[in-house]
A and B are shown apart, each in its own frame.
Chain A
Amino acid sequence: MTQTASLYFALVRAGLRSQLQYRANFVIWIVMGVVFQATGFVFLWVVLSRFPSLAGWSLGEIAFLYGLRMLAHGLNILAFGYLHRIEWLVQRGELDRFLVRPVPALLHVIVDRFPVGAIGDFGGGVVLFLAANALVGVAWTAPALLYLVLAIVGGALIEAAVKLVIGTLCFRFLSTRALVFFADDVFNNFGNYPLPIFGPAVQLLLTFVLPVAFIAYFPASVLLGRTAELSVSPVLAYAAPLGGVVAFGLAYLFWRHELPRYQSTGS
């Protein structure tokens, strides 16, 4: 376990160094990460400068939710890399290289390319979250802080779980790009909003089918003391970080189960 961890960090450092060869590119990708998230937030900021609230959520509360999701999203990509590249690796037979090495194949997939853009996502998340925090006045007790950290890790694990499951489906269906794009769209678009605005049916889908609700909406509701308006039991919201662990555990088992199905397709 500790050996795997030290290998992970060594490989991540190597990946980072290789990306740093192209300085201008490195900076541009970080800026891109920030700009992508910024346009989404500036949209909400402009809307809420003209209208008082979005389904009862003030600008500060929306920013808090948005920041929380950016932190989870940024952490997910920093820690797990671009899991959608599994498809690319499978289609080119590149996974062969990883299977013959002593390190677990998934670890190689994760560190295959350092996700430069995610530095922008995560950094932007930190800034937005701190700014939002100044507006909403959450009482940061020790349990609240602990819950925050666990929620960010849990959110990162949920996103990783969904991407890993989709990536794993490549062993059966060579192309899963449509699903990856769709899931990404849903996470990036719907994850930043208080879910009640979407109505009961979509809300149910975003809780139990694509578990977007667990990433930021549930944790933000808990920290902002808005659990009364949830359409599910508050217990589920408090347990959101655990949901991430369970989801990723299941996704990993699925990966292990499907890996023997991999047939090299490269030439």
Chain B
Amino acid sequence: MTEVAARLPGLVKLAGLSAQVHYAYRVNLLLQLVGILVQIYLLKVVWTTVYAGRAEVDGVALPVLISYLTLANLQLWLLETEVGRVIHEKVREGTIALDLARPVGLIGQLVWRQIGLTAALVPFLAVALPAALVVGGLQLPASPEAGALYAVSLALGYGVSVLIAILLGLVVFWTFESHGVFAIYQFVNRFFAGALVPLWFFPDQLRSVAELLPFQTQAYLPLSIYVGRATGTDALRGIAVQAFWILALYLLTAALWRKAMRHVVVQGG
């Protein structure tokens, strides 16, 4: 533990540096944001059309649904990770040899780097939230407890997102190619996270599949809490499911990491 404490300043510094990298690409970030806003607008229009004037469907009022979808898409943008691509580049270019020689383990470096990147996104919310309010719609959490539990659930969702990114990044040690893999992951994640259709509107069979996958931790579980659809034990059960995924993915990542270290081929040089 003291060892970690001793290294903490260095890790925070690393996070700060990677945040600066993100700022260098702020035009890119704003572009991504425009894409998200278009998506939110489209979802609002489509759902408003299918509701066709009904006050609520399956106990969900339209403004609640729109608020869910608006936040879901903003949230996926915030939870997006770069570390998978970072591993990819390091392996491709051979610079991973340097990183492996550093005092902090590579996984630790990557996690802190991602934290820095995400922190750099937070100020953009000052633009994103008002804009999303206009093209979509936002409501306050269903209750103060819902708001607090949502914050916990969002943090756990972030953990799952980072772990999946590292896991996908490690695949590069075997395939040396992963750009397409990341893109496919993004599309599949968006759908099964419930960012287009909340899982409660899924047909039964598809819903059972979605509930077995880790992607629901990215939007559906936190936002069901936020809008007050999952309360009490339901909310806690959702959080437990997220905790389970963090543990499972962590063990898988650690196992794959040990294998990758025996397999590492340094390219270039």
CB distance B45 to A198 under 8 Å? yes
Chain A: minimal CB distance from B33 (Å): 11
Q: A54-B46, A54-B49 known; A47 and B201 CB under 8 Å?
A: yes
CB distance B31 to A177 under 8 Å? yes
Given A39-B187, A54-B49, A193-B42: 12 more A-B contacts, CB < 8 Å: A32-B183, A32-B187, A38-B187, A39-B191, A43-B197, A46-B196, A46-B203, A49-B203, A51-B50, A54-B46, A182-B34, A193-B46
Binary interface encoding of chain B residues 20-60 relative to chain A, with 1 for a CB under 8 A from any of its CBs, else 0: 00000001000100110011001001110111100001000
User: Is A181 at the interface (CB under 8 A from chain B)?
Assistant: yes
Determine the main DSSP class of B at the interface with A.
helix
Q: B46 is contacted by which of A28, A47, A50 (Cβ under 8 Å)?
A: A47
User: What are the 4 tightest A-B residue pairs by CB atom distance, in nearest-first order?
Assistant: A28-B180, A51-B50, A197-B49, A39-B187
Determine the main DSSP class of A at the interface with B.
helix
User: Is B17 at the interface (CB under 8 A from chain A)?
Assistant: no
Q: B50 is contacted by which of A36, A38, A54, A189 (Cβ under 8 Å)?
A: A54
Give every chain B residue within 8 A of A31 (Cβ-Cβ): 180, 184
| A contact set with B: CB distance below 8 Å | 22, 24-25, 28-29, 31-32, 35-36, 38-39, 42-43, 46-51, 53-55, 177-178, 181-182, 185-186, 189-190, 193, 197-198
Q: B35 is contacted by which of A35, A49, A181 (Cβ under 8 Å)?
A: A181
Q: List 13 A-B contacts (CB under 8 A).
A: A29-B180, A31-B180, A32-B183, A39-B187, A46-B197, A46-B201, A46-B202, A51-B50, A177-B31, A185-B34, A185-B35, A190-B42, A197-B49
**Cα distance A51–B47 in the bound complex, in angstroms:** 10
CB distance A32 to B35 under 8 Å? no
CB distance A43 to B180 under 8 Å? no
CB distance A35 to B187 under 8 Å? yes
Chain B: minimal CB distance from A39 (Å): 5
**Cα distance A47–B181 in the bound complex, in angstroms:** 27
| B contact set with A: CB distance below 8 Å | 27, 31, 34-35, 38-39, 42, 45-47, 49-52, 57, 175, 177, 180-181, 183-184, 187-188, 190-191, 196-197, 201-203, 206
Chain B: minimal CB distance from A130 (Å): 23
Chain B: minimal CB distance from A21 (Å): 12
**Cα distance A178–B57 in the bound complex, in angstroms:** 38
Q: A28 is contacted by which of B38, B177, B187 (Cβ under 8 Å)?
A: B177
**Cα distance A22–B177 in the bound complex, in angstroms:** 10
**Cα distance A50–B203 in the bound complex, in angstroms:** 8
Task: Identify the closest chain A residue to B54 (Cβ).
Answer: A51
Task: Identify the closest chain B residue to A38 (Cβ).
Answer: B187
CB distance A24 to B177 under 8 Å? yes
**Cα distance A168–B212 in the bound complex, in angstroms:** 48
**Cα distance A53–B51 in the bound complex, in angstroms:** 10
Chain A: minimal CB distance from B55 (Å): 15
Give every chain B residue within 8 A of A51 (Cβ-Cβ): 50-52, 57
Q: A25-B180, A186-B38, A197-B49 known; A39 and B206 CB under 8 Å?
A: no
Chain B: minimal CB distance from A197 (Å): 5
Give every chain A residue within 8 A of B187 (Cβ-Cβ): 32, 35-36, 38-39
**Cα distance A53–B196 in the bound complex, in angstroms:** 17
Chain A: minimal CB distance from B190 (Å): 6
Q: B31 is contacted by which of A24, A32, A53, A181 (Cβ under 8 Å)?
A: A181
Counting chain B CB atoms within 10 Å of each CB, the highest count among A32, A38, A181 belongs to A32
CB distance A189 to B180 under 8 Å? no
Task: Identify the closest chain B residue to A175 (Cβ).
Answer: B27
Give every chain A residue within 8 A of B38 (Cβ-Cβ): 182, 185-186, 189
Q: B177 is contacted by which of A25, A38, A198 (Cβ under 8 Å)?
A: A25
